[in-house]
C-alpha cells in the first residue's frame, strides 16, 4: 500500500515519456525523406537522450525514477529469493527420495498352517467348528424364542448376545459381520444398527499377550526397547491393536528418540483365518436369501494379508515415497 502513490507517479512519468518518444519518432520519420539514414539515427539518439535528461531534470522526475528502480529491485529480489528457495527445496526432496528406498514387495501370503500335516489341519478345523457352534448355540436359541414370542424385549436381548458372540468368535466372523452392518437392503434395521458397533472398535487383548509377542519378536523386554509404553491400547481392530510408545534412540533408524505406534496382533488370529472363511461361505451357499457379492478367495486373501505386517510396512513406505514432495 505504501508503494501505491509511487507507482501512480511512475505510471504518469512513463506515459509522458512514451508520448514524447512517439512525437520524436514521428518527426524523424518525416525527415527521413530528405536526410540520410545515419543522420536520422543520430538525431533520434540525441532526441532520446534529451527526453531522458528532461524527465530526470526535475526533482519529481528524479524521485519517480528512483521509486521505479526501488520497486523493480524489490520485485526482482523477491522473485530471486523465491526461485532460490524452490531450487533448494527441490534438491532436498531429490536427496530424500534418493535416500528413501522402496522395500521389496513381500512374497505372496501362504498360511503357516498349510505346511502342517493333514491331521493337524483336521484338528484345527474341528476345533474351530466346535467352538463356533458352541458359542452361537445360545444366540440361535434366543433368536427362535424372540421370533416365536414376537417380544421386543427378547429381540433386544438377542441383539446384545449376537454382538457379544461375534466379538468372541474371531476376526473372520467380525469382518463378515462388519460387511453385514453395511447392507441394510439384506438385513433388518435393528440388526444393521447393532452390528455397526463392530466397525468402531473391537475387544482388545490383555497386556501380557503384548509383552509376550514383543519378547518373541525381538528377543527383548518392552523396557529394553521403549522409554515408555502405554498399556491401554489407543485402538483395537479385528486383527490387531495399537499402543502408543516412545522408542529409544539406539533402536531408531535416524538415531533419535521417536514417538511410535506399536501394532500387536491378537492371539489366535492364524487359527481364525485358516478355516472360518470356509465355514462362513458354506453357510451362505446353503442359505437361499443371503448372497455375498464377493468370492471366498478374495475375502480370504484380504483377511490373511492383514495378518502379515510386512505388507503394511511396504504400503506405508510406498506411500511415503510417492508423496515425498507433498509431505516435505
Between 30 and 121, the higher pLDDT residue: 121
Between 87 and 218, the higher pLDDT residue: 218
pLDDT tens, position by position, 290-328 = 777 778 888 888 887 888 888 888 888 888 888 776 655
Average pLDDT over the chain reads: 79
List helix spans (H) across the chain: 4-31, 37-57, 59-99, 118-149, 152-169, 171-180, 189-195, 207-218, 222-225, 269-286, 296-306, 309-322, 324-327
Helix, strand, coil percentages, rounded to 5, for the chain: 70, 5, 25
Lowest mean pLDDT among 13-17, 163-167, 312-316: 13-17
What value does the mean pLDDT take over residues 39-54?
57
What percent of the chain stands above pLDDT 90? Answer: 31
Nearest CA-CA partner of 16 in 49, 59, 61 = 61
Per DSSP, what are the bridge partners of residue 247? 226, 258
Amino acid at each position: 500500500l505504501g508503494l501505491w502513490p509511487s507507482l501512480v507517479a511512475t505510471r504518469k512519468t512513463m506515459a509522458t515519456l512514451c508520448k514524447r518518444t512517439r512525437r520524436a519518432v514521428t518527426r524523424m520519420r518525416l525527415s527521413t525523406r530528405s536526410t540520410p539514414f545515419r543522420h536520422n539515427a543520430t538525431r533520434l539518439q540525441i532526441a532520446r537522450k534529451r527526453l531522458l535528461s528532461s524527465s530526470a531534470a526535475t526533482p519529481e522526475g528524479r524521485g519517480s525514477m528512483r521509486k521505479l528502480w526501488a520497486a523493480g529491485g524489490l520485485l526482482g529480489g523477491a522473485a530471486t529469493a523465491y526461485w532460490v528457495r524452490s531450487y533448494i527445496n527441490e534438491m532436498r526432496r531429490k536427496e530424500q527420495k534418493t535416500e528413501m528406498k522402496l522395500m521389496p514387495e513381500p512374497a505372496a501370503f501362504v498360511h503357516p498352517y498349510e505346511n502342517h500335516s493333514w491331521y493337524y489341519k483336521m484338528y484345527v478345523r474341528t476345533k474351530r467348528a466346535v467352538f463356533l457352534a458352541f458359542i452361537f448355540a445360545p444366540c440361535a436359541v434366543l433368536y427362535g424364542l424372540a421370533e416365536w414370542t414376537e417380544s421386543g424385549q427378547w429381540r433386544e436381548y438377542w441383539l446384545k448376545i449376537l454382538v457379544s458372540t461375534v466379538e468372541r468368535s474371531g476376526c473372520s466372523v467380525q469382518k463378515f459381520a462388519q460387511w453385514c452392518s453395511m447392507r441394510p437392503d439384506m438385513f433388518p434395521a435393528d440388526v444393521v444398527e447393532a452390528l455397526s458397533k463392530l466397525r468402531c472398535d473391537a475387544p482388545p487383548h490383555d497386556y501380557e499377550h503384548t509383552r509376550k509377542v514383543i519378547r518373541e519378536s525381538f528377543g527383548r523386554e518392552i523396557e529394553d526397547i521403549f522409554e515408555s509404553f502405554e498399556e491401554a491400547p489407543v485402538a483395537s481392530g479385528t486383527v490387531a491393536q495399537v499402543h502408543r510408545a516412545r522408542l529409544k534412540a539406539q533402536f531408531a533408524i535416524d538415531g533419535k528418540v521417536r514417538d511410535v505406534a506399536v501394532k500387536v496382533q491378537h492371539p489366535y488370529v492364524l487359527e481364525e483365518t485358516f478355516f472360518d472363511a470356509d465355514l462362513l461361505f458354506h453357510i451362505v451357499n446353503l442359505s437361499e436369501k443371503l448372497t455375498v457379492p464377493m468370492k471366498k478367495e478374495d475375502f480370504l486373501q484380504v483377511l490373511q494379508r492383514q495378518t502379515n505386517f510386512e505388507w503394511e510396512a511396504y504400503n506405508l513406505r510406498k506411500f511415503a515415497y510417492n508423496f515425498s514432495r507433498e509431505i516435505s
